[in-house]
Amino acid sequence: MIISKWSKLNIVNGKGLLLSALLCKAGSSIVIICHGFTGSKEGGGRALEMGEELSKLGFSALLFDFTGCGESEGSFEDISLSAQTSDLGSVVQWCRQTGFRDIVLTGRSFGGTTILNYAAQDKNIKAVCTWAAVARPDKLFEIFVNKSQKPPADHLIALGDEGDTVFLKREFFNDLRKHDLLKCAAVLTPRNFLIIHGSIDESVPLEEAYLLYDAANQPKELKIIEGADHRFTNRIEEVWAAFFDWLKKTA
């Protein structure tokens, strides 16, 4: 049952590019949902479903595509953690200008890393919840560099396997080294921080979740979804339940 209808909109980022977004308006508190690496705002439909569930709890929800992803303008080759953090800042600013009072950030995988990086800088974010987030992105992404796949240009690096390869600029890796996500986790206090991770995540090791948890100060929670992979295949309702329970206590 859909409580609120989705409104399609565009948000201008810091470079003047349009970020495609969807808003499910239900209350003055809003949850901004950030997709993962190479993903898109709809999350195959599950992000839309979650937004509608959030509306039943009285929360508005906003989904958006980062630059170069989904329906947003820009090139995927220009992706970086700094650029995504800036995109998120533009979205947060839009929410505040629109009149939303409390802003909660949640994101999966690289989207979770992005919200951590942003919330460390913006002390007015109400609370933060990461799903399968990367604590040491510089080290993790180096593992997935495909040295056997020849990029179409010298300034690009292949990432992934032959069946699912993307090409990124070298600056993507240089930019990752500028960010310390463990320090970001440490300065979230006194905001509530929930870390959700699958016990058999094949892309982002469970160790990353423990590193974030150990680095963070109270209030913090760690929820391990037993038997869940990186995409939480067939376990997404458990993730929602943990997130919604925490959200009701937090915001």
Non-local (6+) Cβ contacts of 19 within 8 A are 10, 11, 12, 13, 64, 65, 66, 67, 72, 73, 87, 90, 91
CA distance 251 to 110: 24
Show pLDDT as tens, one digit a residue, over the chain (251 residues).
344 489 999 999 999 999 999 999 999 999 999 999 989 999 888 999 999 999 999 999 999 999 999 999 999 989 999 999 999 999 999 999 999 989 999 999 999 999 999 999 999 999 999 999 999 999 988 877 766 677 766 778 887 754 578 888 889 999 999 999 999 999 999 999 999 999 999 999 999 999 999 999 999 999 999 999 999 999 999 999 999 999 999 87
What does the block give as tokens for 129?
């919840």
Residue 53, in any domain of the structure: yes
Buried b (16+ CB within 10 A) or exposed e, 183-222: ebbeebeebbbbbbbbeebebbbeebbebbbebbeeebbe
Asked if residues 66 and 78 have their Cβ atoms less than 8 Å apart, the reply is no
* Domain containing residue 196: 6-136+180-250
**pLDDT for res 164:** 73
**pLDDT for res 214:** 98
CA distance 112 to 103: 15
Residue 199, in any domain of the structure: yes
**pLDDT for res 149:** 73
Residue 209, in any domain of the structure: yes
Residue 161, in any domain of the structure: no
Q: What is the CATH number of the domain that holds 61?
A: 3.40.50.1820
Residue 39, in any domain of the structure: yes
Residue 150, in any domain of the structure: no
**pLDDT for res 2:** 42
Asked if residues 9 and 16 have their Cβ atoms less than 8 Å apart, the reply is no
Residue 201, in any domain of the structure: yes
Non-local (6+) Cβ contacts of 104 within 8 A are 29, 30, 31, 32, 59, 125, 126, 127, 128, 129, 247, 250, 251
For the chain, the domain total comes to 1
Among 131, 138, 32, residue whose Cα is nearest residue 80: 138
The 3-state DSSP class for residue 183 equals helix
